[in-house]
Structure formats: structure tokens, C-alpha cells
Amino acid sequence: MKRRSAPDGSGKPKASAYDRALGMLARRERSRRELDVKLRQDGYAGEEAGAALDRLGAQHYQDDARFAEVLLRSRVAQGYGPHRVQAELKSHGLADRRIRELLEASEVDWNALALAQLHRRYGRSGPADAAERARRAQFLLRRGFPAATVRSVTHAEVDDAADEET
């Protein structure tokens, strides 16, 4: 690939789209969509960015399936629920079918994870009143847990409208 001068006027040649993307992947896993957006923001043409991403994929340096697994493990370790993980994976351009398969194959006990988040945040004592129970339920819903999981863990009444959307 042809090297260009850097736009900052330093006289250093600008790295190719492939080199730039490889450098980003050396730091952490990234989705194809994320790399494409970053390359275009850095001023690389669509054809050059696409060719670089195709080459990285063929060499198995960039793999959306591997990225999705890493992201899922990371978000579970951070205590996020399946709805949050699903939304984040979707924002990275993964197909709904692939996301569902990944979540089903993950073997995560979402109830245990939700309970662990409650204990981390509020301790092991039960809620003092209905308002406290509702606060705890909202905390879990914001973290991306389904209403059924929240209900079973907090014993609070929560709206199932969020579950019907997914």
C-alpha cells in the first residue's frame, strides 16, 4: 500500500489503513464496524479501509465472533445483564441471531449474577420497605437484567414491557 504524508505536517508518512487497524487490534479486540468507523474518522477511503478489514479477517486478526465472546465475558464480569450485553453487541453490528446464539450458549446464571450485584450494591440485608425494593429493582433493570429475573431476585413487581420489546 502507498504511504502518504501525515496531515499534521510532520513529514512522517501516514500508516496504511491495514497498519492502523492492526495497531488498534494489538491493544484490544474490536468489531469490524468499530474498526471501519475509526479508519474512516482517520481519513482513510472506504475502499482502502474495506480491503484492510478483509485482509485482517482473512488472517484471523479480526473476528467478530471472537470479539463478541470477549465482550460478553467482560460485561458479565462487570455484572451487566443480558439486555445490556445484547444492546452493546447490536451496536457493534452483530446479527440478532448470532447474539441470541451467543447468549444461549454462554451458560451464565443470570439470576445468580443479579443477586450478586444486589449484594455488592446493597449488602445482604433485605429491603426495608416497598420503596427500597423498587429502588433495587430499578438498579437491576438499568444494568440490563430482564424483568422476570429482577422479580425473582427482588420479589418486586416490575413492568414486563421491556421484556416484550426484545
The CATH-assigned architecture of domain 12-58 is Orthogonal Bundle (1.10)
SS3 per residue for 94-105:
CCHHHHHHHHHH
Q: pTM for the whole thing?
A: 0.79
CATH of 64-105, one of 1.10.3470, 3.30.70, 1.10.150, 1.10.10: 1.10.10
Collect all residues with Cβ–Cβ distance below 8 Å to 123 and sequence separation of at least 6: none
- Per CATH, 12-58 and 64-105 having the same topology is answered yes
pLDDT, tens only, 99-135: 999 999 999 999 999 999 999 998 888 777 888 889 9
pLDDT, tens only, 75-92: 999 999 999 999 999 999
**Domain 110-165 carries which CATH code?**
1.10.10.10
Kindly list the domain boundaries of the chain, sorted by start residue.
12-58, 64-105, 110-165
Determine the Cα–Cα distance for residues 71 and 89; give it in Å rounded to an integer.
8
pLDDT score at 7: 56
**Which residue's C-alpha cell is 445484547?**
86
